[in-house]
Every structure is written in C-alpha cells, then in structure tokens.
C-alpha cells in the first residue's frame, strides 16, 4: 500500500543530487545520486522501493543542472515543483536554519514542499528550450571572447598574441553565425516572431536583445503581474534602512535570474538615452542624487515592466502611455 503525504526535496548541483524523502511522519531518509541519466534512474528506482510513487518532488530552479531530473520525474508520473531559490532561502531563514550542507538543504527543501505546497511544474515547450540553449551559448561565447581580449591586452609574447588574435577572430565568426541562427529560428515560429516584434517596438530593445529576453523566460505573460516578473529577475529594490541609522544606496535584491539581468543591461543603457519615457525618467533619478548604477538598475526594472506590458496587452509600445515602476 502506498504511504500518503510523501515529499521529496532535491538539492541539485552540477555533479550530484542530494535527496531527502519524508513520509509517514518519519524522519527524512537522505541519499545522494549522480546528476546524470543513470543517477536519475537509480533515484526513481529507490523512490519506487520506498513506496513513494505518489510523492510531491521539489527542487530549486538551478538552470540546466536540474532540467533533466525534473523532466524525468515528471514523465515518471511524479508531481514536480521547481522553486525559485530565493523562496527556499527565505523559508530557511524563517525556520532559523543556521547550518548549510547539501544534505541539510535537501531536507529543508522537502520541509518547504510539505508545508508550502508550491505550484506544480510542467515541462517547457521544446521550442523554447532550443532557443534558450542557443541564447545561453551565445552569452558564453561573448564571455569567452572578452576573456581572450583581456589576455591579449597583457600578453607580451608575439606568438601567443597571434594565437589569441586568431582565436578571437574564430569566436567572432561563431558569434555572428549564432546570432543569425537565433533570428532565423524565431522567424520560423510565428508566436516567437510576433512577440519579438512587440518587444522591439520598445526603444532600447533590438532584435537580438528582444530574442535573448524571449529565450530567458518561456512566457512573460504567465507571470501574474509585472511585479512578480521583476522579482523573478532580481530587479526589485532591497530596502536597507533601520530607523535613522542606516542610509545609503538602495541595492537590487539580485535574488533572481542573473542571466535575465545580463540580457537587460545593454538595452537599459540604450533606453536611458533614447527611450522617450525612460530617458527623462533616468535624468530625474540622477538629478535626485541616484548613482549611475542605481539609475541603471531602475531603468532595467522599468524596461522589463514595459516588455511585460506590450506582451500582456498584445499592443506595441506607445510613448504616450506610461506605467508606474513597481
């Protein structure tokens, strides 16, 4: 007979899966598996042996490291939740958890799953997964190119300089080809093409930056509000005042997607110069004493709100209409 109310917490890393199973009011059973196909298969077999076939499985959203295990367990019939790490961290703090290891994190995730009953996850569209893979590889290539340029700037060996220059040229070609592949890929899918056209109506977002934004979030419209999307990106301000003793800059929470923030960085630089809504607003922030980075963060946040607005409404950007920043 299946035991009721089984929950599984999985702490995901690049190489391993630390798993905590809690059922029947008993203490957690903890195991570790390799984060590969064989490890996931062994995990599923163990859960079956423990009569936990109807368990609710929770893991943190860790990008590609957790994708395979989430999909495999979903396809095996488990209820799966993929949770923003910020929620797990906040829950741990509320429980006064001070120690941190992978095994303890798995137990914490299982307890979060048991008490909070997070929303269930469904696999993303394979089309979006392909787009995200290409977009993230493009980001990696650009990072690699910058690293090689940094080395070139300090290298004294003529031979090594030649090698670096040849490698940079090779990467440049790869970047150019991949950017074109991404645009062609979006052109082949009407929904993505429509969304890109809506996004590029916002001054500051180019075809490429709009494509990268679409690649990082499966559907911006799926968020219940612009505020939720801003929090997902980690662009919500983090207040750090206490009475009158603590003052200074208001940093971003950064408890969200770092890749999404990187995608918005360059468009925000353009938007604070050329966007008819954001440019004067950025100037006002600077006049009020906001630093360059505070202003840029605010413009990134507002740009994301505008992106949410045009996709949610299905209408292109209208400079005569402005929404308040969250």
pLDDT (tens digit per residue) in 118-134: 999 999 899 999 999 99
**N- to C-terminal Cα separation, the chain:** 50
In this structure, what CATH number is given to the domain that contains residue 64? 3.30.420.40
The reply to whether 305 and 210 lie within a common domain is: yes
The reply to whether 211 and 313 lie within a common domain is: yes
Q: How far is CA 155 from the centre of its chain?
A: 35
pLDDT tens digit string along 62-106?
Answer: 767 888 899 999 998 999 999 888 788 888 888 766 667 778 889
Answer whether residue 173 is part of any domain: no
Contact criterion met (CB below 8 Å) for 273 and 246? no
Answer whether residue 36 is part of any domain: yes
Answer whether residue 180 is part of any domain: no
Answer whether residue 175 is part of any domain: no
User: How far is the C-alpha of 234 from the C-alpha of 140, rounded, in Å?
Assistant: 21
pLDDT tens digit string along 135-179?
Answer: 999 999 999 999 999 999 898 999 999 999 999 999 999 999 999
Instruction: List b or e across 81-113, with b for residues whose CB sees 16 or more CB atoms inside 10 angstroms.
Output: bbbbebebbebbeeeeeeeeeeebbbbbbbbbb
Contact criterion met (CB below 8 Å) for 8 and 58? yes
What is the model's pLDDT at position 245?
42
What is the model's pLDDT at position 249?
55
The reply to whether 94 and 208 lie within a common domain is: no
Answer whether residue 63 is part of any domain: yes
The reply to whether 214 and 309 lie within a common domain is: yes
3-state secondary structure of 152: helix
Last residue of a domain, one of 116, 136, 166: 116
pLDDT at 293 over 70: yes
Report the predicted TM-score, pTM, of the whole model to 2 decimal places: 0.77
Bridge partners of residue 57, in order along the sequence: 8, 80
* Token pair listed for 67: 């994708």
pLDDT tens digit string along 198-210?
Answer: 999 999 999 999 9
The reply to whether 211 and 324 lie within a common domain is: yes
Answer whether residue 97 is part of any domain: yes
pLDDT at 241 over 90: no
What is the model's pLDDT at position 168?
97
The reply to whether 211 and 319 lie within a common domain is: yes
Q: How many domains does the chain have?
A: 2
Tell me which of 251 and 274 has the higher pLDDT.
274
Bridge partners of residue 11, in order along the sequence: 18
Which of 17-21, 29-33, 69-73, 86-90 has the lowest average pLDDT?
86-90
Q: Which of 43-57, 168-182, 311-325 has the highest mean pLDDT?
A: 168-182
Find the domain containing 250 and state its range: 203-326
Answer whether residue 44 is part of any domain: yes
Mean pLDDT, the chain, integer: 87
**DSSP helix, strand, coil percent of the chain (3-state; round to 5):** 60, 10, 35
What is the model's pLDDT at position 224?
81
Helix (H) or strand (E) holding 89: helix 85-94
Residue in this structure with the two tokens 């029947």, named with its chain if needed:
24
Last residue of a domain, one of 116, 132, 154: 116
What is the model's pLDDT at position 258?
80
Last residue of a domain, one of 50, 81, 116: 116
- Interacting residues of 90 by C-beta distance below 8 A, sequence separation 6+: none
Please tell me the total number of residues recorded for the chain in this structure.
326
């Amino acid at each position: 007979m299946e035991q009721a109310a089984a929950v599984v917490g999985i702490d995901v890393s690049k190489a391993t899966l630390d798993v905590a199973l809690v059922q029947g009011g008993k203490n957690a059973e903890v195991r570790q598996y390799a984060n590969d196909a064989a490890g996931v298969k062994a995990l599923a077999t163990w859960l079956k042996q423990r009569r936990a076939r109807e368990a609710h499985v929770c893991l943190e959203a860790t990008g590609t490291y957790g994708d395979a295990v989430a999909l495999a367990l979903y396809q095996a019939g488990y209820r799966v939740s993929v949770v923003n790490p910020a929620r797990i961290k906040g829950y741990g703090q509320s429980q006064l958890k001070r120690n941190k290891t992978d095994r303890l994190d798995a137990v914490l995730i299982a307890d979060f799953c048991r008490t909070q009953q997070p929303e269930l996850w469904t696999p993303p569209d394979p089309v979006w997964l392909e787009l995200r893979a290409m977009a993230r590889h493009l980001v990696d290539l650009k990072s690699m190119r910058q690293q090689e340029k940094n080395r070139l700037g300090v290298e004294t060996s003529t031979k090594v300089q030649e090698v670096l220059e040849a490698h940079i040229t090779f990467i440049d070609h790869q970047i150019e080809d991949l950017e074109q592949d991404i645009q062609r890929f979006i052109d082949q899918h009407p929904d993505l093409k429509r969304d890109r056209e809506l996004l590029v109506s916002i001054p500051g977002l180019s075809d490429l930056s709009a494509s990268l934004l679409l690649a990082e979030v499966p559907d911006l419209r799926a968020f219940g509000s612009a505020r939720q999307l801003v929090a997902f990106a980690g662009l919500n301000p983090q207040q750090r005042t206490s009475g009158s003793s603590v003052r200074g800059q208001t940093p971003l929470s950064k408890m969200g997607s770092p890749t999404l923030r990187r995608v918005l960085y360059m468009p925000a630089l353009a938007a604070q110069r050329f966007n008819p809504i954001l440019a004067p607003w950025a100037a006002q922030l600077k006049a009020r004493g906001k630093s360059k980075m505070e202003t840029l963060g605010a413009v990134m946040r507002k740009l994301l709100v505008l992106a949410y607005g045009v996709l949610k409404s299905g209408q292109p950007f209208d400079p005569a209409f402005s929404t308040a920043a969250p």
